[in-house]
A and B are shown apart, each in its own frame.
Chain A
Amino acid sequence: MSEGINAALEFRNVDILFDRGNRRGAIEAALARLDAGETREEIGRALKVTVGVAGANLAVARGEISVLMGLSGSGKSTLLRAANRLNRPIRGEVRIGNGLAWLDIARCDDDTLRTLRKTRIAMVFQQFGLLPWRTVRDNVGFGLELRGMAPSIRRDIVAEKLELVGLANWADAHVHELSGGMQQRVGLARAFATDADILLMDEPFSALDPLIRRKLQDELLDLQKRLKKTILFVSHDIDEALKIGSRITIMREGRIVQTGTPDDIALRPVDDYVAEFIRHMNPLPTIVAAAVMRRFQDLPRRPDGMLDGGRIAIAPDAAIATIADRALAIRSHGAWTQGALCVVPAQLSLGEIIALRQRSGLPVLVEAEGRLVGLCDDADILQALCGEARFRAG
């Protein structure tokens, strides 16, 4: 697999089944039925075996944030937990690059597994998983303590990681004195403390209220720019997935439905299930100017040679713009003043475009690679908001 070469973590044909009935041979029988194409409802009813994940293939590249998305019960957490064998795959490999060789987490011995968990793979939990009788410092140092590191060395590392998540003044507090958002920062610091290169995040922000959630997402993205971890992130929130994911994998009933970049998912959903997720996303932070704008090359020409942008007219070289034959100044969006046309970068979000359109009362011009390439007026914004056509451009 060509993708595998750069992958830090790779799932290959992973099946995860849970035996609820403890009957001898139930798992083997379930695998046979799975291979014969039976659905997981049929298998569950007949054998009391739950199919958590079936036939999952996924490569997570070094330094990327890969998001697993799906409804509850879709197997996303189950698959994530296979990455450090909290769930052990019945079949298939979970490979992690170890020096020059691959190591199969699903089959390695217990000592190797513990070493991997102590040094390579850290985890952040939805319910934080902090030890309530310990101080923040001792929670963050937990992983290092398990390694047998001396308290004096531990202390410095813990202080550094607490600094990283902005909790330097809270080292001696007890966990229950902290708000939910702060508790999850402790969870993050604990995961960073072991300097693991792979981070598993199991709906880490789902238990937080929306404002705090967004703040922590921003902080995570900010930290990721510096730390460049390989992150596998489970979410049931499409906005979260689109915001933080460099790749998104959609799961349904234990199977992977689609894997791709956020654009792939948003613009080219493979089926109705994926499209349904996209329909419910919040377009304001997600859709960018490039996808909203009408491109200059698509605009009709007026008799005088200017491009017809509806309310405004623009010279083909995009040097002059007029409204009702009155010339308009063109200013970039940092230096914009009242009465001038505002120029924004192609990656600006729809929400910000709307704000600028509202303040200027004029269409917003879009710039890419130093050239003006398109404009967004009310009709374009409305079209982007109402769906369907919003996905036309990349």
Chain B
Amino acid sequence: MAPEQWIAEHKIPVGAVMAAVVDVVRKHGLAVFDVITDSVGFCADGLTTLLLALPPLLLVVAAMAGAWFLRRSAGLAALVALGLLFIINQGYWNETMATLSLILFSTVFCMAVGVPLGIACAHRPRLAQALQPLLDLMQTLPTFVYLIPTLILFGLGTVPGMISTIIFAVPAPIRMTQMGIARVPRSLIEAGEAFGATGRQILWKIELPAALPMIQAGLTQCIMLSLSMVVIAALVGAGGLGVPVVRALNTVQVDAGFESGFVIVLLAIMLDRVCRPKDSAS
């Protein structure tokens, strides 16, 4: 018997173990997953319904005002308004709103988990070391692989799409927050200590403000990564701009494919310009 044959015959059951784990989790935790699916799905779909209930033009004006309020740039406000009008013109308003609410939910979750975790990592190098391979895995493991257990546990719909999005996007805010906090100049921390700051005061009054541009960059990255997942989310049944792309792919429609593709890019540009960190003053 050739050695490689022997090696092949004694296969280490990596796949079987993972399958068994998922099976056990499903058997014993089904109720929990149902609750998550129902509540998260209800909120995300509810937000989509709410956005769709409002007159589109009112939302366009609100988005324009929001862009102006955040960035004080007439050009950006115009870009947002024109972009949204283009989306209405192309007939993708409903899908855009569904995608927006999915991105909003996954981004809020990613930031809520990512920023505290990033802070913890910056303060505890051991934790950062332990988390490092996990974060690498989350970003490099092909999405379709963890889509399968997600489907088993959460069924078809918005929630598995959101879970996949979160798994892919959450490393960004964790890493950026960690880097931002770790790069706060030692002299600023010492200034805080020298004037009697507690650990909490140093975090809130020195570390977080100093790391804010990096955290904001993490937010922007998180949004962009979420947006890049819309097509995959559509594959497992989440609504939004991925749906027409998938449909165009299945029916080989060049025109519909490019239309929805452009809308996704446009949405990405608008969100990026509104959320990216301001150029820091010299």
Chain A residues in contact with chain B, CB under 8 A? Answer: 84, 86, 113-119, 121-123, 125, 127, 129-131, 133, 142-143, 145-147, 174, 176, 190, 194, 200
Across the interface, do A176 and B281 meet the contact criterion of CB distance under 8 Å?
yes
- In whole angstroms, what is the CA distance A127 to B282 when docked? 16
Q: Which of B185-206 contact A (CB under 8 A)?
A: 187-188, 190-198, 201, 205-206
List 12 additional A-B contacts (Cβ < 8 Å) besides A118-B195, A129-B194: A116-B196, A119-B196, A121-B194, A122-B194, A122-B195, A123-B191, A129-B188, A131-B188, A131-B205, A133-B212, A143-B196, A174-B281
Is there an interface contact between B194 and A84, defined as CB atoms closer than 8 Å? Answer: yes
**Most chain A Cβ neighbours within 10 Å, of B192, B196, B205:** B196
Q: Which B positions have Cβ atoms within 8 angstroms of A? A: 187-188, 190-198, 201, 205-206, 209-210, 212, 281-282
How near does chain A come to B112, taking the closest CB pair, in angstroms?
23
Contact across chains for B195 and A123 when beta carbons are under 8 A apart? yes
Pairwise interchain contact B201-A117, C-beta atoms closer than 8 A: no
Contacts A/B (CB < 8 Å), 17 sampled: A86-B194, A114-B197, A114-B198, A116-B196, A118-B196, A122-B195, A125-B190, A129-B187, A129-B191, A131-B188, A133-B209, A143-B195, A146-B192, A146-B196, A146-B201, A146-B205, A200-B194
Determine the chain B residues whose CB is within 8 A of the CB of A131 once the complex forms.
188, 191, 205-206, 209-210
- Chain B nearest CB: distance from A117 CB in Å? 4
Query: Closest approach, in angstroms, between the C-beta of B160 and any C-beta of chain A?
Result: 41
Given the known interface contacts A114-B198, A131-B188, the answer about A145 and B205 at a Cβ–Cβ threshold of 8 Å is yes
The reply to whether A194 and B195 form a contact with Cβ atoms under 8 Å apart is: yes
Known: A131-B209, A145-B205, A174-B281. A123 touches B198 (CB 8 A): no
Interface pair B194/A127, CB less than 8 Å apart: no
Identify the 8 closest CB pairs spanning chains A and B, nearest first. A129-B191, A117-B196, A118-B196, A123-B194, A143-B195, A114-B196, A129-B187, A146-B197
Q: How far is the CA of A147 from the CA of B197 in the complex (A)?
A: 8
Q: A194: which B residues are within 8 A, CB to CB?
A: 195
Q: In the assembled complex, how far is the CB of residue B196 from the closest CB belonging to chain A, in whole angstroms? A: 4
Contact status A115-B196, CB under 8 Å: yes
Residue of chain A at shortest CB distance from B206? A131
A118 to B198, CA, bound (A): 11
Q: How far is the CA of A194 from the CA of B190 in the complex (A)?
A: 17
Report the Cα distance A145→B204, complex, angstroms.
12
Which residues of B sit under 8 angstroms from A121, Cβ to Cβ? Answer: 194
Least Cβ–Cβ distance between B190 and chain A, in angstroms? 6
Q: Which of B192, B194, B209, B281 has the most CB of A within 10 A?
A: B194
Q: How far is the CA of A118 from the CA of B193 in the complex (A)?
A: 9
Asked whether A125 and B191 contact (CB < 8 A) given A133-B210, A143-B196, A176-B281, the answer is yes
Chain B neighbourhood of A86, CB < 8 A? 190, 193-194
Q: How far is the CA of A117 from the CA of B209 in the complex (A)?
A: 22
B195 touches which of A117, A127, A174, A176 (Cβ 8 Å): A117
- By a CB distance below 8 angstroms, the chain B residues around A113 are 196
Q: List the B side residues contacting A123 at CB < 8 Å.
A: 191, 194-195
A125 to B189, CA, bound (A): 12
Residues of A within 8 A of B210 (CB): 131, 133
Which residues of chain A come closer than 8 Å to B190, judged between CB atoms?
86, 125, 129
Chain A residues within an 8 Å CB radius of B282: 176
Q: Which residue of B lies closest to A114 (CB)?
A: B196
Q: How far is the CB of B155 from chain A (nearest CB, A)?
A: 46
Task: For B195, list chain A residues within 8 Å (CB).
Answer: 117-118, 122-123, 142-143, 146, 190, 194
B205 contact set on A, CB distance < 8 A: 131, 142, 145-146
User: Do B196 and A125 have beta carbons less than 8 Å apart?
Assistant: no
A125 to B192, CA, bound (A): 12
In the complex, chain A residues whose CB is within 8 Å of the CB of B197: 114, 146
In the complex formed, the residue of B with least CB distance to A145 is B205
Q: How far is the CA of A25 from the CA of B187 in the complex (A)?
A: 29
User: Which residues of chain A are near B192, meaning CB under 8 Å?
Assistant: 146
Known: A145-B205, A146-B201. A117 touches B188 (CB 8 A): no
In the bound assembly, the distance between CA atoms of A386 and B198 in angstroms comes to: 54
Nearest B residue to A127, CB-CB:
B187
From A123, which residue of chain B is reached at the shortest CB distance?
A: B194
Give the distance in Å from the alpha carbon of A145 to the alpha carbon of B197 in the complex.
10
Minimum CB distance partner of B199 in chain A: A110
- Interfacial chain B residues near A190, Cβ < 8 Å: 195
A119 to chain B, nearest CB (A): 8
User: When chains A and B are docked, how far (Å) is the Cα of A162 from the Cα of B129?
Assistant: 46
